Amino acid sequence: MANVRVERRGKAAILTIDRPQALNALDRPTMEELRAHAEALNQDRDLVCVLLTGAGEKAFVAGADIRAMLDLAPLDAQAHSEAGHALLRALLHSPHVTIAAINGYALGGGLELAMACDLRIASETAQLGLPEVGLGVIPGFGGTQRLARLIGEARAKELMLTGERIPAQRALELGLLSKVVPKDQLMKEALALAERIAQNGPVAVRLAKHSLQRGLDMPLDAALAFEAACFGACFATHDQKEGMRAFMEKRPPKFEGR
Ligand code: DAK
């Protein structure tokens, strides 16, 4: 049975994780399905944004599937981990802007999945946390690294070492979310954000993301050199000429994504 649904809305695609019986927890088939969809969408040059959300009102993703992990043998756990990393790579290296629309619990692997997205907006009823230490494991899906990069070392350590859940409003204050909205507005707001991004030059959006994302893993000097190269690449595009000409001619630009 399919655990992930895909819908197109203009320049955006919505991936919905749909395993309500386990609060959308990620078992191996779901991770693989999600990766396959993400990889296919990565090839689609008409898209600008990919939204990720959970089915139902209760959960975005309540973590990796604990039942499925309980009795894993070490080699199976390794394969499980590799499947997880392949999924993260598909999201992290996406040419599109990835937006997590967090509609409920985003716990453990669920929060890690959301943190692998470029942007996160949540409904005011969402709760976020990394409860792994309470299960005798550590966050192994990027959580020990990405949370600190997003909200700073001290706050990340507090969240991760207590394993506590925090409400969306607190996550907003910490800088983990960019917006919190009433739950019936979540998809509307996420799609509006996607639409706003899609009005810009598609190549510039892709290169801006690429420059920021790759630059985070480099020393500042190298990152600035990379930024300069990406800036230069913009000047090989039709959209740079069009964007600047449209400004001079006081009209809206007609971007072509080339
Ligand atoms: N796994 C499996 N089933 C889950 C689940 C999960 N993470 N979360 C919920 N469920 C299931 C429950 O077992 C229950 O099933 P039945 O008993 O009805 O069969 C059903 O969903 C409804 O859940 P509850 O009855 O518990 O609902 P409540 O409203 O009372 O509580 C809750 C909601 C979200 C607070 C609670 O369900 C909960 O605490 N869930 C577990 C949250 C959690 O600890 N998540 C972290 C899991 S560890 C990696 C990849 C990923 C990871 C690590 C490495 N690699 C690639 C290396 C990630 C690890 C984790 O995420």
Question: How many angstroms does the Cα of residue 137 sit away from the middle of ligand 1?
Answer: 14
- Lining ligand 1 with CB less than 6 A are 22-23, 25, 62-67, 81, 84-85, 105, 107-109, 131-132, 135, 140-141
Tens of each residue's pLDDT in the chain, 258 residues: 699 999 999 999 999 999 999 999 999 999 999 999 999 999 999 999 999 999 999 999 999 999 999 999 999 989 988 899 999 999 998 999 999 999 999 999 999 999 999 999 999 999 999 999 999 999 999 999 999 999 999 999 999 999 999 999 999 999 999 999 999 999 999 999 999 999 999 999 999 999 999 999 999 999 999 999 999 999 999 999 999 999 999 999 999 999
Domains and CATH numbers, the chain: 4-198 (3.90.226.10), 202-248 (1.10.12.10)
Catalytically active residues, by annotation: 112, 132
Residue with tokens 């000409």: 245
pTM value is 0.96
Per residue in 201-232, pLDDT (tens digit) is 999 999 999 999 999 999 999 999 999 999 99
State the sign of the Cα–Cα–Cα–Cα dihedral 96, 160, 130, 79. positive
